[in-house]
Chains A and B, each alone.
Chain A
Amino acid sequence: MTVLKPGDTFTLEAPKTTRTALALYAGASGDHNPIHIDIDACRAVGIDDVFTHGMLSMAYLGRLLTDWIPQEGIRSYEVRFTAITPVNTVPTCTGTVTEVEDELARLSLTVTLPDGTVTLEGSAVVAAG
């Protein structure tokens, strides 16, 4: 079992956010908001193109967590969506242990794009192992 200590860092390169990836996520998640799948609907409200579901990035970060620790060890997991993720980019998920106390570890979480844009900031509290 992984024992977490402050400073431990893990990363996950997510799959490219192709239009197919967005369409599949719309179906699997049940989020059928047209702003993620229909460019015509986007343009009708002044948005140039579809963009990635924030919850898809949160799911990738969730994969980072469950790759790293048993899922039952996750006590809480929260994020703020700080920027839109366009189509056809590759998000990178990063988690860093910031604190370990009373057998619980606090993690700082981010998702960034290749140009440095931070699209998601969050935290999780997990069993330290």
Chain B
Amino acid sequence: MTIDRSIIGSRTPEHSVDVERGRLRFFARATGQPDPVYADPTAARAAGHPDIPVPPTFLFCLDLDNPDRGRFLADLGVDIRTVLHGGQAFEYRAQAYAGDRLTFSTEVTDVYSKKGGALEFIVRTTRVTRGGEPIATLTGTTVVRDPKAAK
């Protein structure tokens, strides 16, 4: 399928997420992270952090809480089972912690195709802030496959 190029420059409504200790603890368990700093606020404080730090890739997971994120592909007529994650980049400006309220603002920054249109790429850039202060910029590339070509 062809993705409409006019979506370049479109923005998803901004959303905010409260970073919860329990979810960070669950993420540590799911990723086999044995360092107690990533699960236990007491261990985190002993290591000099104000609370459990948000691990390097977890900002991506918090962005998945955006209800408009899933809607974005559905509105384009894309079946989520035909998408792959092509690439992901993080630029960090400040460390985020449990207890923070983070705000995510996303723009479609590129759309292009490869293999004669069998693969379509959508690039989205997300700025993450805490009280207006920059925390990180995420750049994610979604690959949309032609489901017939996948068979």
Show the binding face of A for B, using Cβ within 8 Å: 14-15, 21, 24-25, 27-31, 33-35, 41-42, 44-47, 53-56, 58-60, 62-63, 65-67, 71-72, 74-81, 84
Contact = CB atoms under 8 A, between A and B. Distances in A.
Interface in B43-64: 53, 55-58, 60-62, 64
Interface of B: 23, 26-27, 29-33, 35, 53, 55-58, 60-62, 64-65, 79-92, 95, 139, 147, 150-151
Q: Interface residues of A: mostly helix, strand, loop or mixed? A: helix
A29 B95 contact: no
Given A29-B61, A31-B64, A72-B95, 15 more contacts: A24-B26, A28-B29, A28-B61, A30-B65, A33-B83, A34-B80, A45-B81, A55-B60, A59-B57, A66-B35, A71-B56, A75-B91, A75-B92, A76-B92, A80-B87
Contacts of B85: 53-55, 81
B32 A63 contact: yes
10 contacts: A29-B61, A29-B64, A30-B61, A31-B64, A45-B81, A59-B31, A75-B91, A77-B57, A80-B87, A81-B86
